[in-house]
Amino acid sequence: MKDLPTAITVCIILLGTFAVASLHRVLYRRLCRKHLFWMFLNNIIQCIIYIAGFLWAVSAIPQLGKLSTTLLAGSGIVALAVSLSAQESLGNIVSGLFISLYRPFNVGDRIKMVSSGVVGNVESITLRHTVIKTFANTRVTVPNSIMNKEIVENSDMVEEIASYYVDVSVSYESDVDRAREIIAEIVGNHPLYVDVRKDMSEEKVSVLMRGFEASGIALRARVWTKTVNDNFRACSDIRIEILKRFREEGIEIPYTKVKLVGDDG
């Protein structure tokens, strides 16, 4: 019976700890879910809440009171021991802190890890790792220490507007000027195309000659859209429409032809 008040106190402390952690989680999700720094800070605060609640519950038990006092008094020694035995984990935490402070990317940004070639959208960051959702709807978990050293190409940094090239080759016998006109017309009239001209007297779409190839003349046009996802769709539509128009107007896209010669003998 003497231990009953102590047990009740410990239960209240533990329930209060879970309640505070849950309340903090709910407030975080409502106020700042999309910000990388607050996402990382949320994980730190959650850890602090649970550790503080655990130590408080331990200190409420008379038999363990001396243990909690010893733990607090020797926190420096404990920290040193932990740092030696968990350098990798601490490295991930520190790297995660730097990532969240300097923000080379944010939650939702489309990034590419240059060395590994991983491409996707940043989904979350924890104390240990960063989660990237790929276009195949899979998740890539990257330790923060590796992410902090990685060269990251961010498609959404500064501004969302994106561009990509549409390359088309035409045969030497084709009307190159007409081919350029068709490409410029198709690109400029696409509903997702963004006109980035500062001087409206300039061409809306510039179709340039990229070079001479073995089988034809290489032409290139730049396609501007509001987002990277729009750019994928626009370039696909444009290539299909170019193929149709070239066929209608007799402009040949060169390709390898094989002529079979029979043996009459």
pLDDT in tens, 196-214: 888 888 899 999 999 999 8
Cβ atoms of 249 and 171 closer than 8 Å: no
Residue 84: what pLDDT? 54
Cα gap 75→62, rounded to integer Å: 20
Cα gap 258→262, rounded to integer Å: 13
Cα gap 42→261, rounded to integer Å: 73
pTM above 0.75, yes or no: no
pLDDT in tens, 173-189: 999 999 999 999 999 99
Strand partners, 154: 111
Element at 155 (helix H, strand E): none
Residues 104-114 have a mean pLDDT of 86
Task: Provide the pLDDT confidence category of residue 1 given band limits of 50, 70 and 90.
Answer: very low
Q: What is the mean pLDDT of the chain?
A: 81
Residues 98-124 have a mean pLDDT of 85
Mean pLDDT lowest for which of 95-104, 143-152, 177-186, 250-259?
Answer: 95-104
pLDDT in tens, 6-27: 777 777 777 777 777 777 666 6
| Three-state secondary structure of the chain | CCCHHHHHHHHHHHHHHHHHHHHHHHHHHHHCCCCHHHHHHHHHHHHHHHHHHHHHHHHCCHHHHHHHHHHHHCHHHHHHHHHHHCHHHHHHHHHHHHHHHHCCCCCCCEEEECCCCEEEEEEEECCCEEEEEECCCCEEEEEHHHHHHCCEEECCCCCCCEEEEEEEEECCCCCHHHHHHHHHHHHHHCCCCCCCCCCCCCCCCCEEEEEECCCCEEEEEEEEECCHHHHHHHHHHHHHHHHHHHHHCCCCCCCCCCCCCCCCC
Strand 152-154 vs strand 139-143: parallel, antiparallel, or unpaired?
A: unpaired
Percentage of residues in the chain with pLDDT exceeding 70? 79
Cβ atoms of 226 and 192 closer than 8 Å: yes
Residue 37: what pLDDT? 66
Q: Where are the alpha helices (DSSP H) in 114-227?
A: 144-149, 176-189
Cβ atoms of 187 and 166 closer than 8 Å: yes
Task: Provide the pLDDT confidence category of residue 76 given band limits of 50, 70 and 90.
Answer: low
Residues 62-80 have a mean pLDDT of 58
Question: Angle at which helices 4-31 and 36-59 pack, to 10 degrees?
Answer: 170
